[in-house]
Structure 1
Amino acid sequence: MEENHLFPVFFKLSQLHVLVVGGGLIGLEKVNALLENCPSANITVVATSFLPELTELVKDAPNVELIQKPFSCGDMLGKELAIAATGNREVNLYIWEKAKSSRVLINVADTPDLCDFYLGSIVQKGQLKIAISTNGKSPTVAKRLKEVLQEVIPVSINEVLDKLQLIRDRIKGDFTEKVRQLNQITEVLVKKD
């Protein structure tokens, strides 16, 4: 059976610099996803034109810069992540080549073979964040799972997390002992009737 060998990672976007190339619907979708997850994300968006909705979206985002011009390889300088979101396969391939030669991790929208990482569906309730990946095979399935999880995770999960942090901070002993005690305490979360 085929498996998903992706390694899930949560980037601190306020400490990295992301380049998004594309100011249309795809660029809007990607910038919106980045800002929903980190309103203080450092993003540079390069495009020959910008949808009014994208301009509106970023007007109050302190660390987002819109640069109206065609993409050039110099746009990769100082970036850690890039997203090619132009809707033009040839242009996206060119952006991918420049990202690879600059050693910048890249996501090429709707082209899983050219992605170093995927933007999964995200479920968030307070401090809890769950990313869902189908290994690029079906964003629709990820979206449906997101809807299910969003519904079943209680709003009070933040209170649970706050209390568990207090408990974690008070537990004495080495790492193994702390893990044992936390596993015992949280067993009720997965206990079946």
Structure 2
Amino acid sequence: MNELFPIFLKLHQVNTLLVGAGAVGLEKLQAMVSSSPNARIHLVAEEVSEGVREFIKDRKNIYLSERAFRDEDLENVGFIVLATNNAVLNQHIRVLATKQNILLNVADKPDLCDVYLGSVVQKGNLKIGISTNGKSPTMAKRLKEFLADLLPEEIDETLALMGELRDSLKGDFQEKVKALNEHTKGALKI
């Protein structure tokens, strides 16, 4: 059973630490910035790939420390992503993160993770997260492609109108929910 609780992090409000700047680090970095362009990311790595250097070149919200990880790198951090193939380092950071109650994702190591970075479908303000509970990122990617093709392009316009409608409704919470449910009934006929 998938017992994950889905949430969306405001990475522009949470200091994020990314350890590792190779191909996997670049993939994680791109995923975070794609969903949250103003994410505040501290990138720590002894070796930095050219792809990572190019990606972060003009981004003021990504700070690079080209060196080994230090325990003090966790100060004021709310989220950690590890993209290293160093099992000893990953376990060390896992222990520190647990002690400090910092959420952790470790690439390709579901057992070390507090959170997974799922596939994301985005059309304007609509964002759908997909998780396979760490079982098959490839299947999540296929579902992402399927849903992206399935959702109408004008979905963002519909969301804007629904936001205006919600803001204009009077009455108590239950009355508003009833009105919105009635209005959206049959909205997505697929």
TM-score, normalization by structure 2: 0.97
Distance (Å, rounded) in 1 between the aligned partners of 2:153 and 2:60? 29
Residue pairs, 1:1-150, within 5 angstroms: 3-150=1-148
CA displacement at 1:132 relative to structure 2: 0.2
Which residue type is aligned with residue 70 of structure 1? A
Residue pair 1:84, 1:96 contacting (<8 A) in 2 also? no
How many aligned residue pairs are there? 190
The amino acid across from 2:173 in the alignment is: F
**TM-score normalised by L of structure 1:** 0.95
Secondary structure, aligned partner of 2:181:
helix
* Unpaired segments ≥5 residues, structure 2: none
Judge conservation of contact 1:124–1:130 (CA < 8 Å) in 2: yes
Identity %: 47
Root mean square deviation, CA, Å: 1.1
Instruction: State how far apart, in whole Å, the 2-side matches of 1:188 and 1:101 are.
Output: 48
Give, in whole Å, the separation in 1 of the partners of 2:57 and 2:123. Answer: 26
Residue 190 (structure 1) shift? 4.4
Determine the C-alpha separation between the residues in 2 that align with 1:27 and 1:19. 11
Q: Write the distance in 2 (CA, Å) between the matches of 1:83 and 1:115.
A: 9
Q: In structure 2, the residue corresponding to 1:159 is in which secondary structure?
A: helix
| Equivalent AA in structure 2 for residue 91 of structure 1 | L
CA–CA separation in structure 1 for the residues paired with 2:163 and 2:21: 41
Q: Secondary structure at the match of 2:21?
A: coil
Q: CA deviation at 1:35?
A: 0.5
Counterpart of 2:165 (choices 161, 164, 167) is: 167
Q: Is the 8 A contact 1:19 1:46 kept in 2?
A: yes
